[in-house]
Structure 1
């Protein structure tokens, strides 16, 4: 990897961390420059449109990272319910390991916070959440669940996980995530039941 790539990746990594821990509005470009230890010119070289462009790249990176993570869990587990449970339990353990200080639910830091100020950011968030739902729906359908029901269930699951993340972050307690994980098999089973009726 070249130093230019290192510099760009360093800026993205720092910006993502700050956006996730303190939100979009509270994160300034000067703080990103300082914490990434990159020259100010580098940030504007790679992201000439500034903070919004940088946030868009961060959202795209998170989207792809989470999509791949979902795919890995579906590949490593026997059924979709087990895969989704394992995904949620890993999030719970990671959140607890960082004392709930190194993450913020995606739906809060970007979707809610930025949707009213930038159509581009709102559209990028919409795309990320849609992609996550699509991966889940695809694997539910592969398990034999009717596609319409699979899509609805994927929406419920993403909503459940994001809501549990908000509660876990607020309470600094992983219990909401553990509770959500216990309900996953029930949700998937009811979805499969509807298909067979």
Structure 2
């Protein structure tokens, strides 16, 4: 069994790409092992509870990266609207630069695919959406928006963003994200 420091990361990187590109059910552990060039023992060493534990780790890892990026924009912009526009435009740029393969909807596929069969995965996907909404809501509250409207606006913005991201990946063009960014001031203004 390989315990190289990057074996765990290679497994996570590969699993994330496969889960998000072909779905949870269509991704097998043998494919993850093969595509990550990792021995089978390494996968079970790092993820003793198998595929569901691996998927949960991928969800949480992706969530934290995206939430950090969003928090950075919220903390360094003049307004929530400007921050969200910049965040979405940055994702559009990343999508183009990665040829639409390095960007994934945070939990769309896993949420849609596993919500009826795994309460743990459904809860993890829910947490992703809630974490992102909370970042936006906090900034809106700081700007003086009342609690309920701030929560509603944050929910709509994340729904718009996730939908635009999904369309961007499906169409393999940045236009849906660019259009979403254009309407952020309408929602958050």
Q: Is TM more than 0.5 here?
A: yes
CA distance in 1, matches of 2:159, 2:107: 9
Provide the residue aligned with 2:16 in structure 1. 16
Question: C-alpha deviations, 1:18-41, integer Å up to 9, x for none?
Answer: 212222122111111112111110
Of 82-91 and 20-29, deviating more is: 20-29
Contact 2:85 2:184 in 1 (8 A): yes
Provide the residue aligned with 1:163 in structure 2. 163
CA displacement at 1:103 relative to structure 2: 3.2
CA distance in 2, matches of 1:23, 1:91: 21
Of 30-39 and 94-103, deviating more is: 94-103
Contact 2:84 2:184 in 1 (8 A): yes
Question: C-alpha deviations, 1:124-175, integer Å up to 9, x for none?
Answer: 0011111111111001111111121111100000000011112212211111
Contact 1:133 1:151 in 2 (8 A): yes
CA distance in 2, matches of 1:95, 1:34: 26
Provide the residue aligned with 2:40 in structure 1. 40
In structure 1, runs of 5+ residues without a counterpart are 190-197
In structure 2, runs of 5+ residues without a counterpart are none
What is the number of residues matched between the two proteins?
187
CA displacement at 1:4 relative to structure 2: 4.8
Provide the residue aligned with 1:71 in structure 2. 71
Alignment pair present for 1:7 and 2:29: no
Question: C-alpha deviations, 1:82-110, integer Å up to 9, x for none?
Answer: 10000000111111222223333234321
Bigger share in helix: 1
CA displacement at 1:72 relative to structure 2: 0.7
SS at match of 2:6: helix
Provide the residue aligned with 2:151 in structure 1. 151
Contact 1:133 1:158 in 2 (8 A): yes
Provide the residue aligned with 1:117 in structure 2. 117
CA distance in 2, matches of 1:96, 1:164: 14
SS at match of 1:106: coil
Q: CA RMSD in A?
A: 1.4
Question: C-alpha deviations, 1:50-94, integer Å up to 9, x for none?
Answer: 111100000111111111111111122111111000000011111
Provide the residue aligned with 1:175 in structure 2. 175
Provide the residue aligned with 2:31 in structure 1. 31
Contact 1:59 1:125 in 2 (8 A): yes
Of 176-185 and 15-24, deviating more is: 15-24
Contact 2:106 2:128 in 1 (8 A): no
Provide the residue aligned with 1:184 in structure 2. 184
